[in-house]
Amino acid sequence: MPDVGEGLTEAEILKWFVQPGDTVTDGQVVCEVETAKAAVELPIPFDGVVHELRFPEGTTVDVGQVIISVRTGADAAQAPAAAPAPAAAAAPVAAAPEAEATPGARQPVLVGYGVSTASTKRRPRKGVPAASSVPAASSVAAATASAAVPVQAPALNGNGGNGFAGHGHGQAVAERPLAKPPVRKLAKDLGIDLAAIVPTGDGGVVTREDVHAAATAALAPQPVAPVAETVTAPQAALARAAVAQAAPDARETRIPVKGVRKVTAQAMVSSAFTAPHVTEFITLDVTRTMKLVQELKDDPDMAGLRINPLLLIAKAVLIAISRHPDVNASWDEAAQEIVLKHYVNLGIAAATPRGLIVPNIKDAHAKTLAELSRGLSDLVGTARDGKTSPSDMQGGTVTITNVGVFGVDTGTPILNPGEAAILAVGAIKPQPWVHKGKVKARQVTTLALSFDHRLIDGELGSRFLADIAAVLEHPKRLVTWS
């Protein structure tokens, strides 16, 4: 499992596109994985025959673990197709002999260039015999030796409190439990004591499944109909329906929180309790803007472009930022500095089956209306397909969330972490409005601006929001204020 994004430590295998016995070529996509930020397709860097898929779909795998092995070169011709490797056999071939790296040469990995030559094999746990040494068959397997080399899993032991079958070693292990950093963080977040868990991983390592099992035992004394670990976020509704059919008397259903939904929850909690939020509202007449939208749709120069109110709202936000550049900033807690951004990466909150994501249009401030339209179209289409890359969601400066598409009048949005402001756009609908001294039906909406009060005081936030409204009320300012 490669590191498919900065700072990511794990990914869930959503779908395998190959099976044991299939022929693969260098660069062919073999699986799709979901990280905490997006769904990513992984290519294979070898030509050969798939020998083994190490994990089924729906499994969450730590970065660095071997997930697939491929027979290459002469091995591919000699080995019977789809023959699974026996449990006690040597590690499967993950790369051709000719692919062995020479000193200083590039070593093939699924994503990126080069792998660490240092051994990652764990120190043996005291009281547990080390597994027999098996040479790694390739540079990929060598880089992840602890995952690639089969190790006999410790059996449960009912004699005393040891928890292992250790060839006569029955004494209790008093040292710090072995677990990877992501597993330790998970246990900390769930309030689980690692020392109280019976490890089931290779070499006495506590796995995330062990932690989840301990958390379930602590929180659910009564049996609850479980949701299979293979359920992914897009399948959550189907999972709920399936569980309801399987257990009609069940009073609760538990759905694992992982992937995008998990990181979104963590980010929102962090943002809500670290940045002092202030929200201001303004209700305005956007009848002229709606007329301009229709005129742009009929304009031959804009043919083929996606023209909608969000496009002009985005442009209004960019113009308001140009008039109030201090809004486009972030707070550096470590350095105790305000970081002013001289570029605008405009984020657009998108609801997807995997959860809420906020990809952004890079350097939106420098784009024409047509370029901004193309950027919005690409962003929305990619998000709906679940193909948004982690880089598209990094570096945002200001965000727009359009809750009006759901018929909602307004809301109090939570800041995207690292940003100073977020604008919520409410539903646009006919309402009674005083226009030129008479009450008429006009197209009206409500905008809500949440901002970080450490960076933006009440005056600046009010002027910024008022300028956005002024542009939308009189869209000729798209030209005069540019």
- Asked if 50 and 68 touch (Cβ cutoff 8 Å), the reply is yes
3-state helix, strand, coil in the chain (%, to 5): 30, 20, 50
DSSP E strands in 246-336: the ranges are 277-285, 329-332
Q: Which residue has the tokens 């995952």?
A: 147
**Integer Cα distance of 233 and 235 in angstroms:** 5
- Amino acid of residue 313: I
State the maximum Cα–Cα separation within the chain, in Å, rounded to a whole number. Answer: 94
**Backbone conformation region of residue 315, classed left if phi is above 0, alpha if psi is from -120 to 50, else beta:** alpha
387 contact partners, CB below 8 Å, separation of at least 6: 38, 39
**Integer Cα distance of 210 and 201 in angstroms:** 9
For the beta sheet containing 68-71, the strands, ordered from the edge strand earlier in sequence to the opposite edge, are 23-24, 48-53, 68-71
Task: State yes or no: is 435 an active-site residue.
Answer: no
Kind of pairing, strands 10-16 and 346-348? unpaired
**Integer Cα distance of 213 and 196 in angstroms:** 12
* Set 169, 212, 453, 474: catalytic member: 453
DSSP sequence for 235-271: GHHHHHHHHHHH-TT-S-------HHHHHHHHHHHHH
Q: For 188, phi and psi rounded to 5 degrees?
A: -65, -45
Name the residues annotated as catalytic.
453
